[in-house]
Amino acid sequence: MRAGPERATDSHIDVQNYLQRADSCVNEIESVTGREWGLQSYPDIKKEIETEQDIMRVHLPHYDYLVYLRHHGFPSPLLDWTTSPYVAAYFAFETSNNADRVSVFAFIERPQGHKSGRGNTNMIRTHGPYVTTHTRHFAQKAWYTTATYWDTQEKTHTFCSHHDVTPALGVTQDVLVKLTIPRADRIDALKQLDEYNINHYTLFQTEDALIRTMGLRAFDINGT
């Protein structure tokens, strides 16, 4: 489940091109953070992608590095989800605005237990939680999806918007369900979630997130 806007790359960038851009940043990131990612050279990454991917599989070498980039604001084709309805509800309610209702989305990849594909169609793929990365990934109970278009001639996956994915006629997969909740419940929901220890600080674990949590308590949760 998730709440919030999609964070996508240029809709015309393919997997190899995206990995090349991500790889070009690693030396400076490692120098500043002191963390080593052990990335292969780009020619080796490109060869691995070409060998491992097919119409049904988007191969993402160095997935742990890509998740790290996603959580720190790098343009990313990874759309983040959470397996916790409470975490999803927090993100839906946290921002104050004048809308009558907030939305939470549920994604069901294989409602019939299987998935099919055909040439030159768009498809959503899930990427699981088992990765060594930033602690907020685990605090948020995160999974990720990518949406891609498979070019049968080039044998390449190109990233696209999740909104562009339409399953073939008669195929039930990649189902997106929108749930709406009255915004009038916002304060009560945030109070209860805070009692469950679900707030901006526990989900992001930074000093900025701590201050944001204190502000939410002072002016919204306890200030009404």
Distance CA 163, CA 176 (A): 10
Distance CA 104, CA 28 (A): 37
Number of structural domains in the chain:
1
165 falls within a domain: yes
What global pTM score does this model have?
Answer: 0.86
- Note the pLDDT tens digit of each residue in 107-165: 998 888 878 765 557 889 999 999 998 889 999 999 999 999 888 888 899 998 888 88
**How do the residues of the chain divide into helix, strand and coil, expressed in percent and rounded to 5?**
40, 20, 40
Sign of CA dihedral 197, 200, 205, 208: negative
69 falls within a domain: yes
Determine the structural domain holding residue 24 and report its residue range. 15-179
- Residue 224 pLDDT level (bands cut at 50, 70, 90): low
DSSP class of 146: E
| pLDDT beyond 60 at 26 | yes
195 falls within a domain: no
128 falls within a domain: yes
217 falls within a domain: no
101 falls within a domain: yes
- Residue 1 pLDDT level (bands cut at 50, 70, 90): low
